[in-house]
Amino acid sequence: MKQILFASIFLPVLLMAQSKKPLNSNSNVSAGHAIQISLKPYQNTKLYIGTNYGNNKVLADSCILNDKSEGIFQSKEKLTPGIYFVVSPKMSILFDFLVDEKQQFKITADTLDLKNITITGSKDNELFQNYSKTINDLFVQLNQIEQNYKSAKTATDSANLKEAYLVKDKEIKQKRKSFIDNNPSSMMSFLLQTMEIPEVPNIPIVNGKADSLYPYHFVKSHYWDNVVFNDNRLLRTPFFEKKLDDYFKNYVSREPDSVIEEVQYMLTVAKTGKEIYPFLLFKFTNKYISPEFMGQDKVFLHIYQNFFAKGDTVLLNEASKKSLRDRAYSLMANQLGLPAPILVLNDLEDKRIALHNIKAPYTFIAFWDPTCSHCKVEIPKLDSMYKANWKNLNVKVLSVNINAKEMTAWKTFIKEHQLQGWINGYQSDEDLNKEIKEGRPTTIRQLYDVYKTPTFYLLDKDKKILAKNLSIEQFNDFLQSTIKKSN
């Protein structure tokens, strides 16, 4: 495969604390953070605190423990509130704690007894520890019931254990609800509400018929209850990005317009979030610039036109800006449902051929390079599919050589593989130079997004784009399905 590479778009990376201006223990840090720590038996060594950046874990600050195992993480800059963890000198995570708006407190712990950690001066951490101990004990009981259920020997035992499981599960949910009701503004309540997935309701009966879609719509409509997308704390949890990924996987249609609606809403709400907005912007950009599903490059194009093109490029270097702009321009003319761009070529005998003059119910365009190793495999495979299935369906194949410097190799390949019945064409140097001389902003490569070879398109009788960027087998399945629907 020959591929024209474009600059990668990377997510912003947090490496260490937002500020590395050290303070002494007597400094005024009311505007920043000062987290004292006593962690035995470490002495005279470096210790770290880390946090989450979506699914990734990053270091946020460091300190040196003295010979009394004491140190202080401090800076004039505040940490973004959320879940943090202490990291050992050997870079292993030891335990979690919370950072809220009040960032002056003390942690006392011993690596030989990490179940008993004391945090003073932080109400949120007291709530966190008390809730965690209670809920963890309940989950241990729930897991034990589940294990007993798996080994139950009688139907009566199974029924009793199933009932016990439901009772214990209800108790856990009630504990969670009670905690949130009693501590609505706490960090722990924010975390519990963020990770919450709506419980799937039973299928209701409406007018005598089961409404099987109701559970899906219910969960989707309540999936983000109590979550506001401009809250930077979302990034400092290990579950937000996974929940986001699961939402797009399970509750958002793959149809590009459905994805665009969700992305537009999230980015619009997130725009006032200093950290969450660029995170989501780059996450969606990376996901849809080379999407998993056909047609979803329309999502990237929407993001570019509605965000990047309107100035949201402060985190990008010039190479990345150009990469995004070039990629967007390469997609504008070849979206699904649009008429294929005008394509005028020379055939093997240098006679003029035009795509839009080809009369056929379906036209398949193959852009390829006779020196491309992947093309040498895929083009004969395409010919086999054409001769076995597509020829009888009156599908026309337009084969386009995008490497005019290899005319001999191209003609030899066509002859040796007996690519009969195809329309074979290339863009002459004369036509290419004319485009350049006239200052046209687009070329065949850009109009048809040919950054790799081979690149395939399927058009309808009006030369509108039906499908692109599929395997030959997938194109065949798509074509057969389309014909079946039209009959």
Render pLDDT for 31-87 as a digit per residue (tens, 0 to 9): 799 999 999 999 999 999 999 999 999 999 999 999 999 999 999 999 999 999 999
For the segment 349-378, what is each residue's pLDDT rounded down to a tens digit? 999 999 999 999 999 999 999 999 999 999
What pLDDT shows up at residue 443?
Answer: 79
Using an 8 Å Cβ cutoff, are 84 and 41 in contact? no
Q: Among 5-19, 27-41, 151-165, 427-441, name the one with the lowest average pLDDT.
A: 5-19
Q: pLDDT class for 177, splitting at 50, 70, 90?
A: very high
Q: pLDDT class for 440, splitting at 50, 70, 90?
A: low
**Nearest C-alpha neighbor of 302 from the set 346, 255, 349, 341:** 255
Alpha carbon distance 297, 328 (integer Å): 9
* Amino acid at site 332: M
Using an 8 Å Cβ cutoff, are 294 and 331 in contact? no
Cis ω before 454 (30° cut-off from 0): yes
113, HSE (Cβ side, Cα atoms, 13 Å): 7
Encoded tokens for 83: 């879940």
Alpha carbon distance 412, 237 (integer Å): 59
Helix (H) or strand (E) holding 360: none
The separation between the first and the last C-alpha atoms of the chain, rounded to the nearest angstrom, is 37
What pLDDT shows up at residue 8?
Answer: 36
Alpha carbon distance 10, 282 (integer Å): 7
Alpha carbon distance 39, 277 (integer Å): 36
| DSSP track, 130-162 | HHHHHHHHHHHHHHHHHHHHHT--SHHHHHHHH
Alpha carbon distance 92, 94 (integer Å): 6
**What DSSP character marks residue 464?**
B
For the segment 8-43, what is each residue's pLDDT rounded down to a tens digit? 333 333 333 333 444 344 444 457 999 999 999 999
| DSSP track, 215-233 | HHHHHHHHTTTT--TT-GG
Cβ atoms within 10 Å of 52's Cβ, excluding its own = 21
What pLDDT shows up at residue 30?
Answer: 59
What pLDDT shows up at residue 442?
Answer: 64
Alpha carbon distance 80, 313 (integer Å): 23
For the segment 196-230, what is each residue's pLDDT rounded down to a tens digit? 999 999 999 888 899 999 999 999 999 999 999 99
Distances (CA, A) of 219 to 201, 241, 264, 402: 8, 18, 20, 49
Alpha carbon distance 209, 31 (integer Å): 60
Can you tell me whether residue 479 is helix, strand or coil? helix
Residue holding tokens 């505040």?
78
Q: What is the pTM of this model?
A: 0.86
* Amino acid at site 99: V
What pLDDT shows up at residue 12?
Answer: 37
Mean pLDDT of the region 307-329: 87
What pLDDT shows up at residue 310?
Answer: 87
Alpha carbon distance 212, 120 (integer Å): 51
What beta strand segments (E) does 1-55 contain? 2-3, 33-40, 45-53
Using an 8 Å Cβ cutoff, are 271 and 230 in contact? yes
Q: To 5 degrees, how large is the angle CA 441–CA 442–CA 446?
A: 140
Q: Is pLDDT above 50 for 173?
A: yes
Encoded tokens for 199: 């419980």
Q: Among 22-26, 67-71, 415-419, 466-470, name the one with the lowest average pLDDT.
A: 22-26
Helix (H) or strand (E) holding 286: helix 276-289
* Amino acid at site 139: F
Q: Is the dihedral of CA 411, 412, 415, 417 positive or negative?
A: negative
* 108 Cβ neighbours under 8 A, 6+ residues apart: 37, 38, 117, 118, 119, 120
Can you tell me whether residue 46 is helix, strand or coil? strand
**Nearest C-alpha neighbor of 408 from the set 437, 444, 370, 372:** 370
Can you tell me whether residue 70 is helix, strand or coil? strand
- The DSSP bridge partners found for residue 85 are 50, 96
Encoded tokens for 190: 């924010």
Residue holding tokens 């119910």?
361
